[in-house]
Amino acid sequence: MKTPSFTLVQLRYFAAAAELGSMTAASRQLLVSQSAISTAVAQLERELGVQLLLRSRSRGLALTSAGRDFYAELRGFLAHCQELADSATDAGQELAGDLVVGCFETLAPFWLPDLVASYTQRHPAVRITAREGEHATLKRMLREGECEAALMYAYDLEDDLETVTIASAAPYVVLGVAHPLARKTSIRLADLASEPVVMLDLPHTADYFRALFETVGVQPQVRHRTRGYETVRAMVAAGQGFAILNQRPLHDQTYRGGSVVCLTLDDDLPPLDVVAVRVRAARPTRKVHAFIRTCLTVAGRNADSAEDPAPMSVE
């Protein structure tokens, strides 16, 4: 079987055309002629013996099924090529360039300030940008290359996504200061079975909280649902019910000036792992390695001795 003979230039021209959906747009981005893009893609298709792009005057370019699979693999290959070039030209030099990372929206207030500040202090030549979103949005951003890594909770992550565990967040109960049980230091969910619940109602997050109730055989009496973490605390402080959360602020005062108390759960309930996530097929860059090390450091773990699943290591 003949080994295909294609060039890195052809691969890059195809990737640009596939990403932008237009030969014209690709030629503008790469500062080459449109005919050069078209010729390179045609030569690549001929070498591979498969059509990668469908061409239409009215709708531009569209990837074929084979083209989608090839492009998915190609993105990781091109990133690795850039990494090889960086390692040759920047050996011994500090990291530089852009890094876009994602962060689950309820984790962001607790993690992003220290992460960005610590990363910037360690790697001042890197322009790190953080984008917040809910679970499905972050997974789409990772797969479409809009961010290189994301800090998320470890649920509903498919096999194409690889993780490094950064921290573990145990569930706890939030009560208003006037609640009869507020003076306790720990509690069981059964003690609150008849009381109203203020539910943090984000996709998958609410499913996790409902599963906690099911584990101990309690049917939650949900009175209020909200997507706002701080809204949950404010509603509890106003006496509208109790809540279960995982991330815990350093103080117990809400935006409105009310106060809550946080009680440890005596029930044997599973925590939520906080994980750094990337696309398995894309080779992580040095900047991503540095981001994971920073996450581990911020979490109080020793990055040098952490056990990480290959190839998403922090070496």
Identify the pLDDT of residue 104. 94
Nearest residue to 230 (alpha-carbon basis) of 251, 212, 210: 251
95-168+274-298: CATH superfamily: Periplasmic binding protein-like II (3.40.190.10)
Cα→Cα distances 9→49, 177, 286, Å: 18, 65, 23
Determine which of 204-208, 221-225, 233-237 has the lowest per-residue pLDDT on average.
Answer: 204-208
Judge: domain 171-265, CATH 3.40.190.10. Answer: yes
Give the mean pLDDT of 40-63.
86
Nearest residue to 147 (alpha-carbon basis) of 137, 156, 157: 137
Identify the pLDDT of residue 209. 92
Give the confidence band of 2 by pLDDT, cuts at 50, 70, 90. low
Identify the pLDDT of residue 315. 38
Nearest residue to 276 (alpha-carbon basis) of 171, 155, 154, 122: 154
What's CA 6's distance to the chain center, in Å?
34
Instruction: Report the DSSP beta bridge partners of residue 54.
Output: 62
Cα→Cα distances 274→28, 65, 99, 112, 132, Å: 41, 34, 20, 13, 15
Quick one: tokens of 51? Answer: 């059509």
Q: 232 pLDDT exceeds 90?
A: yes
Identify the pLDDT of residue 86. 60
Residue with tokens 């565990």: 165
Phi, psi of 36 (to 5 degrees): -65, -40
Give the confidence band of 1 by pLDDT, cuts at 50, 70, 90. low
What's CA 203's distance to the chain center, in Å?
15
Listed by start position, the domains of the chain span: 8-88, 95-168+274-298, 171-265
Q: Do domains 95-168+274-298 and 171-265 have the same CATH topology?
A: yes
91: number of Cβ within 10 Å: 7
| Domain at 8-88, CATH from 3.40.1030.10, 1.20.1250.20, 1.10.10.10, 3.40.50.450 | 1.10.10.10
Give the confidence band of 120 by pLDDT, cuts at 50, 70, 90. very high
Give the mean pLDDT of 199-211.
89
Give the confidence band of 30 by pLDDT, cuts at 50, 70, 90. confident
Nearest residue to 189 (alpha-carbon basis) of 121, 268, 267: 267
Helix, strand or coil, per DSSP, at residue 276:
strand
pLDDT, one tens digit per residue, over 135-183 is: 999 999 998 888 999 999 998 899 899 999 999 999 999 999 999 999 9
Identify the pLDDT of residue 238. 95
Identify the pLDDT of residue 82. 67
Q: 306 pLDDT exceeds 90?
A: no
pLDDT, one tens digit per residue, over 73-106 is: 887 777 767 666 665 555 556 788 889 999 999 9
How far apart, in whole angstroms, are the C-alpha atoms of residue 205 and residue 169? 13
Give the mean pLDDT of 31-45.
89
Q: For a pLDDT cut of 70, what percent of the chain falls above it?
A: 90
Identify the pLDDT of residue 107. 94
Helix, strand or coil, per DSSP, at residue 97:
strand
Give the confidence band of 32 by pLDDT, cuts at 50, 70, 90. confident
How far apart, in whole angstroms, are the C-alpha atoms of residue 53 and residue 105? 37
Nearest residue to 152 (alpha-carbon basis) of 8, 301, 277, 23: 277
Give the mean pLDDT of 187-205.
92
Pair type for strands 186-187 and 260-265: parallel
Q: How many residues does the chain have?
A: 315
